[in-house]
Structure 1
Amino acid sequence: MTKGQIEAKISEAVSKFEIEFMGRGPKEINTLILQDMIIIKLNGFLSKSEKNLSENQQGVKLIKDARTALFENARDYFEDMIKKIIDINILSTHSDVSTKTGQKIIILTSDCNIEQIIMKNNER
């Protein structure tokens, strides 16, 4: 598979994950593989209720805490899902949400240069 095909498969899997574990999928999702990282940006993932809650600091904290807890509870499943698409060792997974922009960023780091592995596999 090419880098673009792998990025598309990851985006598709993350969208399904968001629907299954977080209750709804994003309006848009982009995945970028860069050296030893997989960077996933989701746009438009907040529900109407969350948008309303985000109008004050207490609501922002509540959204962030709930989203973080939900993601942490499903972290192993999430990482296994990525490993099925691209066989790498994941060192860490980071996630944060912006209630201001409605974006979520997920960054996974690996113990190898993923781009080089993809290039080597495509040379065979």
Structure 2
Amino acid sequence: MRLDKSVISQSSSHHEWIRMKIPISGQGLFEWDIMVEKICEYFWVDICTEKGFNVDYDSWLGAQAYGWVFVKYGQTFKEKDRITVHLDMRTCSFSVNGKRYPIAFRNLPGKVYPAVSLRAP
């Protein structure tokens, strides 16, 4: 995992999380990619609110009140998968290796943070 000064990371005995320090807000389409370099048993691509990082770190982000998680519709991610997040500040959808999935979330708050969470090995 590559980290720099633009991210915040947290971990517990069960889960690890990372999110951007700078929120996404405003109008327009925002897109970013998550590249899977090495797979683990449980891995989630997320967005969260500011409150989303004041949570129970022994649980995954999707179980929190302020987080939204993409799950690959019953399939698992593989090494070298590219997950693209498509966020227009009203809806959020995802693509995996260029295959676009239906809208996953609607009526999102006006400020969110890209995030990734995984179950610690």
TM-score bin, normalised by smaller chain: 0.3 to 0.5
Q: How does the TM-score come out when normalised to structure 2? A: 0.34
Higher strand share: 2
Greater RCO (Cα-Cα under 8 Å, separation 6 or more): 2
What TM-score, normalized to structure 1? 0.34
Higher Cα Rg: structure 1 or 2?
A: 1
